[in-house]
């Protein structure tokens, strides 16, 4: 830095001399230099050069002892083992040697640390000093920036002077100074100050740039007319695209002399098409992000001369003076006008220089569609994308690209996880000039976890220099905690009393019938409103409805203070004139409005009211003639109808109606249990109506679901018009289970209703409808619902669990349809879909039994018969190949390349080599049908990767996985499930080669995406998370491994109970972590819980029994070696009755047992453990293997254990040997299976 502004250098030197040093020898004379006898230093560059020179000289004149420090440290490193043994066995002798040099080493190391710190800090200054110089050159007339740089420069001078004097100190004094003084702490304090001041300088530079941008904005406004003309020209070109294309076609038929004109016209068409494409992308992105949001929002309006006090409030001014660096939280009592203030601030809270990027407001409504944090973010994103401020900017196009990625995964923006849409908002605003976001009524949102996330995001955004964040709500502790550091503005009654008076005056002036009692109304409001606009409005509405002045005065005088008292008066007053039937109707109205998770339409309420829960039908005699009129008559003014929906006038009404302690006969007490009980019975009744038992409806839903799931075009098969589901059916399908699990204990009749629903065909209608309502992009939402129900049932009494058996949840209803002749004969293709769906549910619970596999086979054949070489057929047989491939099936189906459902069941059932061959065949035939670069080809390649991993062909698996990864990215997006599954398989292949960190990176990225897309309980999320935990265990991150394994273990148990091999795999993995953490009692307890489970009695899971027994023996060995050996001998003997008699874990058992036997000198017995694992390639006689051959067999097992299966096979082949069975070492399917070959704690 050559100090372009001499006054800045002089000010910095002056500040340093006066405040940062008391030593006259360290002060700088700006005219003559620094101290006596030193060359003149008139810039920071010279100071840095001088400091570097003194450091270099000091290193060249190092104290003699320091030159020996490195040798001493290297010696200790080379002989660390010797030192450890000496310390353990001869501590008194080692202490004499070690104690003598320990203090000298500490001194030397301390000096080295100080020197390194100074050196690295000098390098950092060299990196940044040029940028700070540029700031002064760009904005020389900015006082705030100059002042910040002066203060920063003074501290830099302070550091450089102290560094130089330190290195000029003689070596012996320098060692003492570094070790026995506070010099190191002083240097750290100076560096911390430099960091803080540098941040401040960066902020001031950003502010200076924004001011300059504002000036340029004024100059650029003159160009706006030109830009408008350009835009109009572009639109004109778009309108003429078709005309130009027609003229191009005409010109192409002319002679060659006109070819040049044709090329010009073609280029023009291409340019126009590009503009058209960008506009289409923008419109599609905005439509998607806005879908499901309210078209209109009733933004409250403020009266003239009201709300102006907010911008002069001391808290608001302090927030503004602090640079808006924290969120401004405006809170107050219910009905005090927070929304009105938010509306006022949206229009009048900021001037254009503060927020040139715009002011964006969101008013939460009491609706699931518009009162979710995701809806808030989507609404703001849509508003920003349609504003002229950011249109066509770099962030704008990035946002479109990000939205297009999400459009492939979610049906609308509000279905996206909050974190994903928030990242779009952040990218839009990152390069925006100053902007403001105002959020009102966030306390009315029910999604507490997402509310917490949203508040944390807002709090973090407020710390950026271009953001002004305001949140308006009632006071709740969780809001305060989530926002973090805030500026609070409490709305108090005396502050808004004048606003309420102004509002009342304006309302009286607009209503002539109130003129005669104006003063009395004003006096009443002044005394009893207590700062509540809502109370004043309700009183005025009640008085206005009176027929004469006398009645007006009576209503006014009897109108009670306080909102709860007002609500009670309305309820009791309207209830006195009602008979029991109308009281019941009124109660049902309030229950539906309060109990629903979203706004219900008037039609929804009418439908719900007409349901007969006992007979499970609609009762026409209960249908109300005019629902809206009746609703207003019975519930007004506490309920209003807007845009065809019914809603409470204010959130405090719900608090009142649900908060009764001693209700009267006319009051309405609606606690959460009451409302949820009412809602769940109405929802179940709706789902079980006879009309949803229609076989044609079920067939139609199945076809739509399967085509949606397979991501193929529905036009491939003739489709019936999609059935339109009633609005209340959609609500019931999405929410019935949420109402049920909200009940602490469900009544008997509700449990029986649930059990009946599970056994009915209507459950299939619901499951397929739910799949489509969730966007059709997620495998089995019905099974997720089952997971929640299982968790809830575990807390219910045993009698309740008996009434609602979850064992055959979903499967029973689908199975009954397969036995229904009307279904199988009338809709044969739908029957194949049912079998596919049933097999998918078996796979969800990791239960690929013989019957489940038969379903896969039958489904694949059915799809082939009806669709031929169609993508759905291919997918059906690919899945089957992941379970078991039989030669006769393959021969009968290979001509159509229908091997997708056949292949996923194969891996689960252990026929890995056949699965690999079948996937390769599917890929070859897909290339013939679809071409070599189609996404389905890469999907088959991904499955090949997985199959090769299971057969230990890790390098080929890695090659296939990497190629599939590139292909899937080129033909899709990184958030598709195919790509994410492939990343998991590729991670397996890397992990098998001990490339643990590479695998960990893949798992972590895929896990984060799965969490965003499908949440923590999705099977793909849990599978990826458990694989990630495996890498943490292998890298020694045991605490992280334990945390993730516990989460997966709990999630799997919720979905499928402990008695499932996926849960057992996680229990074994967790037990290994406990052992490495030296928590053997917890590990032993976990293994003892698993060992008696019925699943482990099946021969297919014998390897897991071996894993448990092996780990038990390893833990037992230190206490009782003989008992541990006996345990493993018994395990090997028991395996002889199993088929196959050898598995991967039993090979590791032999290695462990051989090590123990050799420790006791039993060399021959150790070798014999491996004689049945290999056999000669060309056997000449039946003689037993020689000792040398057994030794080769053991070496081969150890190579396989180290991940070198190919090398092991070569070793055996070079000695005329081969494995007795190729599949002995195959990795069986699991959660994933615990990699017990990696035994860091027991090797």
User: What is the 3-state secondary structure of 753-783?
Assistant: HHHHHHCCCHHHHHHHHHHHHCCCCCCCHHH
165 touches 27 (CB < 8 A)? no
Least confident of 73-87, 332-346, 506-520: 73-87
342 touches 470 (CB < 8 A)? yes
* 1219 SS3 class: strand
CATH number of the domain to which 481 belongs: 3.40.50.300
Going across the sheet that includes 328-331, the strands are 358-363, 435-440, 467-473, 328-331, 487-490
Residues 545 and 601 in one domain: no
Between 131 and 497, the more confident residue is 497
**Residue 1051: inside a domain, yes or no?**
no
Could you check whether the bond before residue 1163 is cis, i.e. omega within 30 degrees of 0?
no
Dihedral of the alpha carbons of 780, 785, 787, 791, in degrees to the nearest 10: 180
In this prediction, residue 849 carries a pLDDT of 60
* 689 SS3 class: coil
Between 256 and 639, the more confident residue is 639
Least confident of 164-178, 279-293, 425-439, 599-613: 164-178
Domain boundary residue among 639, 655, 670? Answer: 670
Could you check whether the bond before residue 1140 is cis, i.e. omega within 30 degrees of 0?
yes
Q: Is the dihedral of CA 1234, 1235, 1237, 1238 positive or negative?
A: negative
45 falls in which pLDDT band (50, 70, 90)? low
* 473 SS3 class: strand
58 falls in which pLDDT band (50, 70, 90)? low
Strand residue runs (E) in 1113-1165: none
CA separation for the pair 883, 850 (Å, rounded):
10
CA separation for the pair 197, 202 (Å, rounded):
9
Evaluate if residue 957 carries a pLDDT over 90. yes
CA separation for the pair 848, 1230 (Å, rounded):
12
139 falls in which pLDDT band (50, 70, 90)? low
Three-state secondary structure readout of 967-992 = HHHHHCCCCCHHHHHHHHHHHHHHHH
Residues 592 and 514 in one domain: no
Q: What is the mean pLDDT of the chain?
A: 78
Percent over 90 (pLDDT), the chain? 28
Instruction: Write the Ramachandran bin of 181: left for phi over 0, alpha for psi from -120 to 50, otherwise beta.
Output: beta
**Residue 48: inside a domain, yes or no?**
yes
71 falls in which pLDDT band (50, 70, 90)? low
**Residue 260: inside a domain, yes or no?**
no
In this prediction, residue 520 carries a pLDDT of 92
Residues 939 and 978 in one domain: yes
**Residue 1072: inside a domain, yes or no?**
no
Residues 576 and 524 in one domain: no
Question: For residue range 376-398, what is the model confidence (pLDDT) as tens digits?
Answer: 899 888 888 887 665 555 667 77
> Which residues fall within 8 angstroms of residue 1232, CB to CB, at 6 or more apart?
988, 1023, 1026, 1027, 1030, 1065
Least confident of 98-107, 789-798, 1083-1092: 98-107
The DSSP-derived string for 203-254 is HHHHHHHHHHHHHHHHHHGGGHHHHHHHHHHHHHHHHTHHHHHHHHHHHHTS
Dihedral of the alpha carbons of 167, 173, 178, 181, in degrees to the nearest 10: -130
Cα–Cα nearest to 970, from 945, 938, 1007, 924? 938
CA separation for the pair 867, 898 (Å, rounded):
10
CA separation for the pair 266, 262 (Å, rounded):
6
In this prediction, residue 1 carries a pLDDT of 43
Most confident of the ranges 193-197, 892-896, 1083-1087:
1083-1087
Question: For residue range 157-196, what is the model confidence (pLDDT) as tens digits?
Answer: 887 787 777 777 776 666 666 555 556 777 777 887 887 8
Residues 111 and 154 in one domain: yes
In this prediction, residue 248 carries a pLDDT of 45
CA separation for the pair 141, 248 (Å, rounded):
58
In this prediction, residue 1090 carries a pLDDT of 92
1212 falls in which pLDDT band (50, 70, 90)? very high
> Which residues fall within 8 angstroms of residue 695, CB to CB, at 6 or more apart?
761, 820, 822, 823, 826, 827
Question: For residue range 73-124, what is the model confidence (pLDDT) as tens digits?
Answer: 455 555 545 445 444 444 444 444 444 445 545 555 566 666 766 766 766 6
In this prediction, residue 605 carries a pLDDT of 94
In this prediction, residue 1073 carries a pLDDT of 94
Taking the CB of residue 64, how many other CB atoms lie within 10 A of it?
7
Domain that holds residue 132: 8-222
Residues 524 and 573 in one domain: no
Residues 629 and 768 in one domain: no
Residues 636 and 543 in one domain: no
**Residue 281: inside a domain, yes or no?**
no
Residues 299 and 405 in one domain: yes
Q: Which two tokens stand for residue 923?
A: 């890929």
Evaluate if residue 67 carries a pLDDT over 60. no
* 1174 SS3 class: strand
Evaluate if residue 852 carries a pLDDT over 70. no
Evaluate if residue 610 carries a pLDDT over 90. yes
In this prediction, residue 682 carries a pLDDT of 96
602 touches 641 (CB < 8 A)? yes
Least confident of 236-250, 283-297, 1091-1105: 236-250
Between 1158 and 239, the more confident residue is 1158
**Residue 283: inside a domain, yes or no?**
no
> Which residues fall within 8 angstroms of residue 360, CB to CB, at 6 or more apart?
380, 383, 384, 435, 436, 437, 438
Q: Which two tokens stand for residue 74?
A: 């290297």
CA separation for the pair 95, 78 (Å, rounded):
19
In this prediction, residue 124 carries a pLDDT of 67
**Residue 899: inside a domain, yes or no?**
yes
Taking the CB of residue 152, how many other CB atoms lie within 10 A of it?
22
Evaluate if residue 603 carries a pLDDT over 80. yes
Evaluate if residue 677 carries a pLDDT over 70. yes
Question: For residue range 303-328, what is the model confidence (pLDDT) as tens digits?
Answer: 888 888 888 899 999 999 998 999 99
Average confidence (pLDDT) over 573-590: 89
In this prediction, residue 1029 carries a pLDDT of 95
Domain boundary residue among 993, 1022, 1052? Answer: 993
1045 touches 1231 (CB < 8 A)? no
Evaluate if residue 456 carries a pLDDT over 60. yes
In this prediction, residue 778 carries a pLDDT of 57
Residues 516 and 627 in one domain: no
Residues 134 and 165 in one domain: yes
Residues 584 and 485 in one domain: no
Evaluate if residue 266 carries a pLDDT over 80. no
Instruction: Write the Ramachandran bin of 1140: left for phi over 0, alpha for psi from -120 to 50, otherwise beta.
Output: beta
Average confidence (pLDDT) over 529-551: 90
Bridge-partner residues for 618, per DSSP?
Answer: 611
1234 touches 1065 (CB < 8 A)? yes
In this prediction, residue 996 carries a pLDDT of 94
868 falls in which pLDDT band (50, 70, 90)? low
Q: How many CA atoms lie within 13 A of 537 on its CB side?
A: 16
**Residue 855: inside a domain, yes or no?**
yes
Between 173 and 672, the more confident residue is 672
860 touches 873 (CB < 8 A)? yes
In this prediction, residue 1064 carries a pLDDT of 93
In this prediction, residue 607 carries a pLDDT of 94
731 touches 604 (CB < 8 A)? yes
Unique residue bearing structure tokens 């005088």: 557
Q: Which two tokens stand for residue 17?
A: 């001399």
Total count of domains within the chain: 7
Rounded to 5°, angle at Cα 1182 from 1177 and 1183:
105
Question: For residue range 728-738, what is the model confidence (pLDDT) as tens digits?
Answer: 999 999 999 99
Average confidence (pLDDT) over 993-1015: 89
Evaluate if residue 461 carries a pLDDT over 80. yes
Domain boundary residue among 962, 993, 1024? Answer: 993
In this prediction, residue 1241 carries a pLDDT of 44
338 touches 331 (CB < 8 A)? yes
In this prediction, residue 865 carries a pLDDT of 57
Evaluate if residue 273 carries a pLDDT over 90. no
């Amino acid at each position: 830095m050559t100090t372009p502004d001499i006054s800045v250098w002089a000010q910095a030197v002056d500040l340093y001399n006066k405040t940062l040093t008391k030593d006259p020898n360290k002060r700088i004379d700006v005219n003559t230099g620094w101290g006596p006898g030193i060359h003149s230093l008139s810039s920071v560059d010279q100071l840095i050069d001088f400091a570097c020179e003194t450091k270099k000289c000091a290193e060249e004149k190092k104290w003699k002892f320091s030159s020996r420090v490195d040798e001493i440290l290297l010696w200790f490193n080379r002989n660390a083992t010797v030192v450890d043994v000496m310390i353990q066995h001869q501590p008194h002798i080692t202490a004499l040697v070690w104690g003598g040099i320990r203090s000298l080493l500490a001194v030397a190391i301390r000096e080295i640390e100080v020197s390194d710190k100074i050196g690295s800090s000098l390098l950092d200054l060299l990196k940044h000093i040029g940028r700070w110089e540029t700031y002064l050159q760009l904005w020389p007339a900015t006082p705030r920036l100059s002042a910040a740089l002066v203060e920063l420069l003074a501290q830099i001078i302070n550091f450089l002077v102290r560094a130089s004097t330190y290195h000029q100190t003689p070596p012996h004094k320098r060692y003492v100074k570094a070790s026995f003084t506070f010099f190191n702490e002083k240097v750290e304090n100076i560096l911390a100050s430099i960091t803080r001041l540098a941040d401040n300088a960066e902020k001031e530079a950003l502010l200076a740039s924004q001011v300059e941008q504002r000036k340029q904005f004024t100059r650029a406004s003159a160009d706006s007319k030109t830009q408008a003309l350009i835009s109009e020209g572009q639109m004109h070109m778009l309108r003429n695209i078709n005309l130009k294309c027609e003229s191009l076609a005409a010109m192409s038929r002319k002679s060659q002399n006109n070819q040049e004109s044709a090329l010009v016209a073609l280029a023009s068409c291409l340019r126009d098409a590009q503009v058209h494409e960008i506009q289409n992308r923008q419109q599609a992105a905005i439509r998607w992000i806005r879908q499901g949001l309210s078209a209109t929002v009733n933004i409250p309006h403020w009266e003239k001369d009201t709300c102006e006090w907010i911008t002069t409030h001391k808290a608001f001014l302090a927030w503004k003076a602090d640079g808006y660096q924290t969120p401004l939280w405006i809170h107050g009592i219910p009905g005090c006008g927070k929304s009105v203030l938010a509306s006022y601030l949206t229009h009048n809270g900021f001037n254009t220089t503060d927020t040139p990027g715009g002011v964006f407001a969101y008013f939460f409504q009491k609706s699931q569609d518009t009162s979710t944090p995701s809806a808030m973010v989507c609404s703001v994103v849509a508003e920003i994308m349609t504003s002229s401020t950011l249109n066509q900017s770099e962030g704008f196009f990035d946002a479109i690209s990000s939205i297009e990625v999400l459009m492939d995964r979610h049906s609308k923006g509000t279905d996206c996880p909050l974190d994903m849409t928030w990242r779009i908002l952040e990218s839009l605003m990152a390069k925006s000039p100053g902007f403001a976001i105002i959020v009102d009524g966030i306390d009315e949102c029910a999604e507490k976890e997402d509310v917490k996330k949203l508040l944390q995001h807002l709090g973090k955004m407020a710390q950026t220099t271009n953001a002004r964040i305001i949140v308006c709500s009632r006071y709740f502790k969780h809001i305060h905690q989530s926002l973090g550091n805030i500026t609070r503005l409490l709305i108090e009654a005396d502050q808004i009393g004048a606003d309420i008076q102004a509002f009342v005056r304006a309302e009286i002036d607009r209503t002539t019938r109130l003129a005669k009692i104006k003063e009395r109304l004003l006096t009443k409001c002044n005394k009893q409103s207590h700062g509540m606009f809502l109370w004043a409005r309700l009183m005025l509405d009640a008085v206005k409805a009176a027929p004469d002045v006398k009645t007006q005065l009576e209503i006014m005088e009897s109108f009670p203070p306080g909102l709860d008292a007002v609500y009670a008066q309305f309820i009791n007053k309207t209830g006195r004139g009602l008979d029991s039937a109308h009281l019941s109707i009124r109660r049902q109205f309030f229950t539906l409005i309060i109990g629903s998770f979203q706004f219900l339409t008037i039609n929804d309420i009418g439908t719900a009211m007409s349901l007969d829960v006992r007979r499970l039908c609609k009762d026409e005699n209960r249908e109300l003639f005019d629902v809206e009129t009746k609703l207003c008559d019975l519930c007004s003014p506490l309920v209003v109808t807007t845009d065809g929906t019914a809603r409470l006038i204010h959130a405090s009404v719900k608090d009142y109606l649900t908060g009764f302690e001693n209700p009267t006969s006319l009051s309405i007490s609606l606690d959460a249990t009451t409302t949820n009980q009412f809602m769940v019975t109405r929802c179940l009744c709706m789902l079980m109506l006879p009309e949803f038992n229609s076989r044609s409806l079920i067939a139609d839903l199945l076809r739509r679901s399967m085509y949606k799931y397979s991501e193929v075009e529905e036009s491939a098969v003739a489709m019936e018009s999609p059935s339109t589901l009633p609005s209340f059916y959609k609500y019931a399908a999405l929410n019935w289970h949420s109402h049920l699990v909200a009940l602490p204990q469900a009544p008997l009749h509700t449990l029986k209703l649930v059990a009946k629903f599970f056994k009915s065909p209507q459950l299939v209608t619901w499951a397929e409808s739910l799949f489509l309502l969730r966007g059709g992009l997620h495998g089995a939402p019905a099974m997720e619902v089952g997971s929640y129900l299982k968790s809830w049932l575990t807390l219910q009494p045993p009698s309740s669990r008996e009434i609602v058996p979850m064992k055959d949840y979903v499967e029973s209803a689908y199975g009954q349809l397969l036995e229904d002749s009307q279904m199988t004969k009338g809709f044969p293709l739908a029957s194949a879909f049912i079998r596919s769906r049933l097999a998918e549910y078996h796979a969800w619970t990791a239960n690929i039994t013989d019957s489940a596999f038969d379903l896969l086979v039958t489904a694949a054949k059915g799809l082939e018969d009806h669709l031929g070489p169609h993508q759905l057929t291919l997918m059906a047989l690919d899945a089957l190949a992941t379970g078991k491939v039989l030669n006769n099936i393959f021969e009968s189906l290979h001509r159509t390349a229908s091997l997708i459902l056949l292949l996923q069941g194969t891996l689960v059932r252990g026929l890995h080599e056949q699965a690999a061959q079948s996937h390769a065949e599917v890929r070859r035939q897909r290339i013939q049908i679809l071409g070599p670069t189609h996404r389905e080809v890469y999907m088959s390649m991904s499955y090949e990767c997985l199959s090769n991993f299971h057969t230990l062909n890790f390098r080929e698996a890695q090659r296939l996985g990497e190629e599939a990864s590139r292909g899937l990215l080129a033909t899709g997006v990184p958030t598709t499930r195919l790509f994410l599954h492939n990343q998991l398989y590729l991670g397996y292949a890397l992990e098998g080669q001990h490339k643990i960190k590479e695998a960990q990176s893949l798992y972590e990225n895929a896990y984060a995406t799965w969490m965003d897309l499908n949440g923590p309980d999705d099977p793909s999320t849990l599978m990826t998370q458990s694989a990630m935990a495996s890498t943490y265990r292998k890298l020694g991150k045991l605490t992280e491994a334990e945390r993730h394994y516990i989460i997966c273990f709990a999630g799997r148990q919720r979905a499928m109970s402990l008695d499932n091999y996926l849960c057992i795999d996680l229990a074994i993995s967790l037990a290994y972590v406990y052992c490495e953490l030296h928590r053997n009692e917890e590990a032993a307890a976990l293994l003892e819980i698993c060992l008696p489970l019925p699943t482990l009695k099946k021969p297919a899971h014998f390897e897991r029994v071996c894993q448990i027994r092996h780990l038990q023996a390893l833990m037992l060995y230190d206490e009782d070696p003989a008992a541990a050996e006996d345990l493993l001998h018994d395990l090997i003997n028991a395996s002889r009755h199993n088929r196959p008699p050898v598995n991967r874990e039993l090979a590791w058992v032999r290695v462990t047992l051989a090590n123990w036997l050799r420790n006791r000198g039993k060399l021959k017995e150790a070798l014999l453990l491996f004689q049945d694992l290999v056999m000669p390639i060309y056997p000449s006689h039946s003689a037993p293997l020689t000792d040398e051959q057994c030794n080769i067999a053991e070496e081969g097992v150890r190579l396989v254990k180290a991940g070198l299966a190919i090398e092991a096979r070569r070793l055996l082949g070079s000695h005329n040997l081969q494995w007795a069975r190729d599949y002995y070492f195959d990795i069986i399917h699991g959660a994933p299976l615990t990699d017990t070959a990696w035994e860091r704690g027991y090797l």
